[in-house]
């Protein structure tokens, strides 16, 4: 039977998932026995729709593309409009909430409350928002367990590049002693462009134009975005509690063209490195620019790409490189959580 999804938010990421479901439904059914339909969408700006029999994806995507809103989606005998996020979460016949609302990363809201409402209503949640995982991982994981539902958040770090399920499943049995990575695409893009001779301001503008940067790019260039991601890694992957206040943080704004040229002359390259290391039962974590030798696996990661190295006691260092953002990539991150919920093994 098809999984019934309620999308809270229908911005770039939600539309990315809808496009994937529309384009790949045949293949997903054939290859994985996976089927999902969207029964509800509640978006604070675009409006809300609920049809217990399922919404038509092609029509949904077309009306949003053409009008920016959901209002002109055609009526059906079972269609209801105007439900807010909490009514949608609590009262629709969805089994899974896709939480992709516009959320303040500093408070994790409204996504944290959406998760709580969904779990209490017996619904699974998949999400790509970082805030709830970084700020309330233990509380929410416990709540999901208590209500016997699943919570997936693969897309919260490095979008669809597997940084959470991969260590938790494929590297199980190892002690992960250190996680270090390039977890912010905007900073890596700026550093790459500066090495090619572009100014910091032009490179940041280009990152904004290409959609890598957060709404307020201070979160990127001052290291806050990477900080939330390393907090997620420590809590979820290394299994050690770490709060955001415990992470030392420095961004890339103090790096000058001269620093970058100097590194190049030394066969080195500046990268903004997020690091979490186990030290005596605790995790010590930092975000800081580091001058890496070109032989380092992370030094060759260029442009908006992200990368992460897991230092494992049995398997040794394992590095994963890939996209850290993007409509389809993050849509895929939600899909892989949904597929794993359907497999019963998130
Ligand atoms: N602004 C983020 C980045 C997007 O540049 O990596 C993904 O979290």
pLDDT of residue 135: 97
When the pLDDT of each residue in the chain is averaged and rounded to a whole number, the result is: 96
Pull the structure tokens for residue 42: 């509640």
- The fraction of the chain above a pLDDT of 70, given in percent, is 100
pLDDT of residue 34: 97
Residue 264 annotated to the active site: no
**Is the C-beta atom of 214 inside 6 A of ligand 1?**
yes
| pLDDT higher than 90, residue 216 | no
**Is the C-beta atom of 223 inside 6 A of ligand 1?**
no
Fold (CATH) for 3-160+327-343: Rossmann fold (3.40.50)
Q: How far apart are CA 259 and CA 242, in angstroms?
A: 32
Average pLDDT over every residue of 236-247: 97
Average pLDDT over every residue of 185-196: 97
pLDDT digits (tens, 9 = 90+) for 66-94: 999 999 999 999 999 999 999 999 999 99
Ligand 1 mean position, distance from CA 186 (Å): 6
pLDDT of residue 346: 74
Minimum CA distance residue for ligand 1 atom 7: 325
User: Of the candidates 256, 280, 283, 259, which has an alpha carbon nearest to the alpha carbon of residue 269?
Assistant: 259
**Is the C-beta atom of 213 inside 6 A of ligand 1?**
yes
pLDDT digits (tens, 9 = 90+) for 261-291: 999 999 999 999 999 999 988 999 999 999 9
pLDDT of residue 105: 86
First to last CA, the chain: 19
Ligand 1 mean position, distance from CA 274 (Å): 13
Please spell the DSSP secondary structure of 10-42, one letter per residue: -SHHHHHHHHHHHHHHHHHHHHH---EEEEEEE
pLDDT of residue 281: 84
**Is the C-beta atom of 186 inside 6 A of ligand 1?**
yes
Q: How far apart are CA 49 and CA 72, in angstroms?
A: 11
Q: How far apart are CA 70 and CA 78, in angstroms?
A: 16
**Is the C-beta atom of 329 inside 6 A of ligand 1?**
no
- The fraction of the chain above a pLDDT of 90, given in percent, is 95
pLDDT of residue 287: 98
Average pLDDT over every residue of 43-62: 98
The answer to whether 158 touches 306, Cβ cutoff 8 Å, is yes
Ligand 1 mean position, distance from CA 325 (Å): 6
**Is the C-beta atom of 340 inside 6 A of ligand 1?**
no
| For ligand 1, mutation pick of 131, 161, 213 (most atoms within 8 Å of CB) | 213
Burial of 136 (C-beta count, 10 Å sphere; 0-12/13-18/19+): middle
| pLDDT higher than 80, residue 222 | yes
Split at pLDDT 50, 70, 90, the class of 237 is very high
Fold (CATH) for 165-322: Dihydrodipicolinate Reductase; domain 2 (3.30.360)
Split at pLDDT 50, 70, 90, the class of 113 is very high
Centroid of chain to Cα 85:
20
Ligand 1 mean position, distance from CA 214 (Å): 6
**Is the C-beta atom of 154 inside 6 A of ligand 1?**
no
Closest-lying ligand 1 atom to the alpha carbon of residue 189 = 5
CA angle in degrees (0–180, nearest 5) for 229-326-66: 135
From 4, 116, 229, 271, the catalytic residue:
229
Average pLDDT over every residue of 300-325: 97
Question: Can you give the pTM of this predicted structure?
Answer: 0.96
Closest-lying ligand 1 atom to the alpha carbon of residue 229 = 8
Q: What residues does each domain of the chain span?
A: 3-160+327-343, 165-322
| pLDDT higher than 80, residue 149 | yes
Q: For residue 4, is the peptide bond before it cis, meaning its omega torsion is within 30 degrees of 0?
A: no
CA angle in degrees (0–180, nearest 5) for 72-76-80: 75
| pLDDT higher than 90, residue 1 | no
| pLDDT higher than 90, residue 214 | no
| pLDDT higher than 80, residue 215 | no
pLDDT of residue 186: 96
């Amino acid at each position: 039977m098809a999984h019934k999804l309620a999308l809270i938010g229908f911005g770039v990421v939600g539309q990315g998932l809808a496009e994937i479901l529309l384009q790949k439904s045949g293949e997903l059914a054939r290859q994985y026995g996976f089927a999902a339909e969207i029964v509800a969408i509640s978006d604070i700006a675009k409006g809300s729709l609920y049809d217990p029999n399922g919404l038509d994806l092609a029509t949904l995507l077309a009306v949003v593309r053409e009008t920016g809103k959901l209002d002109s989606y055609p009526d059906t005998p079972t269609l209801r409009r105007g439900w807010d996020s909490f009514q949608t979460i609590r009262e629709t016949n969805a089994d899974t909430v896709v939480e992709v609302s516009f959320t303040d990363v500093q408070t994790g809201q409204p996504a944290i409350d959406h998760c709580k409402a969904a779990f209490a209503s017996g619904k699974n949640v998949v999400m790509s928002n970082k805030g709830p995982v970084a700020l309330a991982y233990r509380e929410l994981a416990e709540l999901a367990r208590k209500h016997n539902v699943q919570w997936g958040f693969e897309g919260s770090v490095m979008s669809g590049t597997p940084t959470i399920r991969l260590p938790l499943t494929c590297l199980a049995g190892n002690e992960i002693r250190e996680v270090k990575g390039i977890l912010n695409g905007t900073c890596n893009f700026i550093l790459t462009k500066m090495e090619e001779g572009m100014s910091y301001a032009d490179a940041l503008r280009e990152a904004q134009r290409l959609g890598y940067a957060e709404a307020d790019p201070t979160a990127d260039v001052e290291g806050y975005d990477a900080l939330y991601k390393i907090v997620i890694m420590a809590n979820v992957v290394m299994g050690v509690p770490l709060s955001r206040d415990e992470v030392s943080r420095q961004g890339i704004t103090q790096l000058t063209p001269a620093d970058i040229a100097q590194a190049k002359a030394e066969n080195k390259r500046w990268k903004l490195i997020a690091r979490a290391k186990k030290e005596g039962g605790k995790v010590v974590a930092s975000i800081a620019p580091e001058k890496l030798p070109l032989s380092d696996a992370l030094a060759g990661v260029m442009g908006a790409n992200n990368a992460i190295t897991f230092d494992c006691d049995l398997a040794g260092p394992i590095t994963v490189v890939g996209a850290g953002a993007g409509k389809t990539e993050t849509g895929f991150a939600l899909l892989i959580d949904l597929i794993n919920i359907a497999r019963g093994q998130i």
